[in-house]
Structure 1
């Protein structure tokens, strides 16, 4: 009830923001991407394809906003900025000659009317799996929020292989174009052959979503294929940051589905052990904690639980809930070498990363999930500066001493 009242306030904010900046989206071809996972990479792929097609693009994602070569900060822990930030960025994009906008749209932003007034030419739904139930309460309400983007888009792009498709597709009275890796759809690897260096089946889906969208926007197949072939991972998305005797991968995975996808991929690449450093956020969807513990136990050889935005929850309490889903692992002692099927708890994230990298052997993969590109840790009511990449560099330097 209270959130519904707040959303009316957000709607007035969005109206005021559009009015102040002159409804800039009406002068742009706007693509919106929503879904539980894959939004950021899909947005990056679409933006790159459009640029190769000669379009000037503004991109707004979890990584920030980009107009041409200019990077704009959109705030900490933010997927879709406030209405005033969005409209200000779009107005600036129009004034600098942009013709297209690609926006990552979260379920919170849709529910809170942050993107009200934006004329979406194409809306994409990548997938829907367990996430944000602390806010939406039920999967039905979560799905309904995601579907709002599609209902406000001239054309919709849907993933036939996703379990949400059968529920969502009948509710969309718009032009719908489909893609699939396994099923029958308008765009598949058979009907639209392409190659990419991006890892994992999850990125095949991201490429198909981007290709389907850009074909709808009139970009030719050759341009699309060239962009996909030369695509690189966005920061913190299945990103290998060290690859010598062992590997270190940084990934933003924060959902059970994302865990399953990235850990499945990493487990197939290892020649030794998969050593996984992660924690989960405080005051966020507690139901997924044991589920993600269960997924980690399925693929990981060594689990190191640590801090990830605990807010005012204790790290130990969060980790206890994660451990409810972990079976078949024994408690490890940091004073001794790590072996398979051991679980450690190291609250300090930097210490946890140091421990993982110090103990990595030839052929191992050390994977760090959760923080990725984010520049702070939410601890209590404060934002503590954090740099996952710097922590890895420091750990590697310590190891080489």
Structure 2
């Protein structure tokens, strides 16, 4: 029944997107549009492609989870939004085309793809970072999730895929693809395999893939190897991505990681690159309400595996019971002890207060976001500012 209703809504979104493109004159046809999707890493990859193209002297605009950058002006894209409303996309594309921009980097989600909200947008190139457990409340199965992500590749002339990603590799092998497929990877044979860890200090393993994805895209766009590597050396990660807020006797990091895979990767990275003996890893996190419940156990298991101390707290619980969400996360800890503190600010305060020399406190789930949804109300929120307030910075 729910899927049937969603199918009707998808027809509405399709018509709305097409009408918007008709109204704005199908502006994507006047630009080289690069689509970026994936479970994790898409925002970093989007910003890096944008940075490389800018550094190479190209006229480029961008829409990401964090903001839209059209020419020299930034626009807020809204609360908890990756891809703006279907009408705004062609509007932003037209603004870019009218300003003489040549390239447009567009971050998008599986929801927007499934709902046909990109109908009428022409993609020269599309890249998928990875496909792991997320949004199964909506897509139901990982295969359906992968099929939806791959719609972006099918919409583009050239598709760039991570050959080291198991789900992506299996999908490409078992389906006929309309676009030209180019691969990148660090473990398997691929069209692009440059390892940026050799030249970027302290580059996280997972970010090596994001850098490589951007490298592959920009090489396909004709940017030279030298220009890409020069640009990568000056790139700063987007807000809320391995954001080191405090680094003295102990360290505090804010990161957007909010999937089991992302939490695993960021905690692994912190242990490998930032934690010094006898320091402990202290983790503050939660899981969003009215979203994929099946990932909560795995998120708890990841924290239990890599963190020494874990504080489970609120994270946009919406109209769900935050205690219920916390308990479902806690089930992933098995017999390992954890704390529940449903007030996010108090949880962060307790974690920081418990920190000793050489410890690392990492706060995940919100990253760059500027609001926290409690019930049906968006409250002003900023993990970085809250952390600085607690530390009196």
Shorter-chain-normalised TM-score: which range? over 0.9
Deviations, residues 244-288 of structure 1 (Å, cap 9, x unaligned) = 111111111111110111010012221201000011111111011
2:189 is matched with 184
Q: Secondary structure at the match of 1:164?
A: helix
TM-aligned CA distance change 1:371 to 1:322, over 3 Å: same
CA distance in 2, matches of 1:209, 1:385: 34
Does 168-177 or 281-290 show the bigger shift? 168-177
Tell me by how many angstroms 1:193 deviates.
8.9
What is the CA deviation profile of residues 327-362 of structure 1, one whole-angstrom value per residue up to 9, with x for unaligned ones? 3423xxxxxxxxxxxx21111111111111122111
| Pairing 1:114–2:109 present | no
C-alpha distance in 1 between matches for 2:168 and 2:385? 40
Counterpart in 1 of 2:348? Answer: 353
Greater shift, 152-161 or 83-92, is seen at 83-92
Give the superposition deviation at 1:230: 1.5
Quick one: distance in 2 between partners of 1:140 and 1:298? 27
Q: How does 1:377-392 map to 2 (within 5 A)?
A: 377-392=372-387
1:318 matches 2:325: yes
Q: Residue 364 of structure 1 corresponds to which residue in structure 2? A: 359
Paired residue for 1:267, among 267, 271, 294?
271
Partners of 2:191 and 2:358 in 1: CA distance: 41
Asked if 2 retains the 8 angstrom alpha-carbon contact of 1:280 and 1:307, the reply is yes
Tell me if structure 2 keeps the 8 A contact 1:7–1:113.
yes
Q: 1:305 aligns with which of 290, 293, 312?
A: 312
Shift of 1:196: 2.2
Contact 2:260 2:295 in 1 (8 A): yes
Shift in alpha-carbon separation, 1:322–1:219, aligned structure 2, 3 A: same
Specify the alignment match of 2:63 in structure 1. 60
Taking the TM superposition and a 5 Å limit, the aligned residue runs for 1:83-162 are 83-162=86-165
1:159-238 matched pairs, under 5 angstroms: 159-170=162-173, 171=175, 172-189=177-194, 195-197=199-201, 199-238=203-242
CA distance in 1, matches of 2:253, 2:203: 12
Give 1:168 shift: 2.4
Residue matched to 2:20: 17
Contact kept? 2:162, 2:169, Cα under 8 Å: no
What is the CA distance between 1:194 and its match in structure 2? 6.2
Q: How many residues align?
A: 385
> Mean alpha-carbon deviation: is it higher for 192-201 or for 206-215?
192-201
TM superposition score normalised by structure 2: 0.95
Q: Which runs of 5+ in 2 are unaligned?
A: none
> Aligned pair 1:3/2:6, yes or no?
yes
Aligned residues of 2:245 and 2:388 also touching (Cα < 8 A): no
User: What residue number does 1:339 align with?
Assistant: none
Distance 1:193 1:200 in 2: 8
Over aligned residues, Cα RMSD in angstroms? 1.4
In structure 2, the partner of 1:285 is 292
Deviation digits for residues 41-69 of structure 1 (CA, Å, limit 9, x no counterpart) = 00011001101111111110110101233
Tell me the CA shift for residue 166 of structure 1.
Answer: 2.9
Whole-angstrom distance in 2 between the partners of 1:166 and 1:234: 28
- C-alpha distance in 1 between matches for 2:372 and 2:78: 13
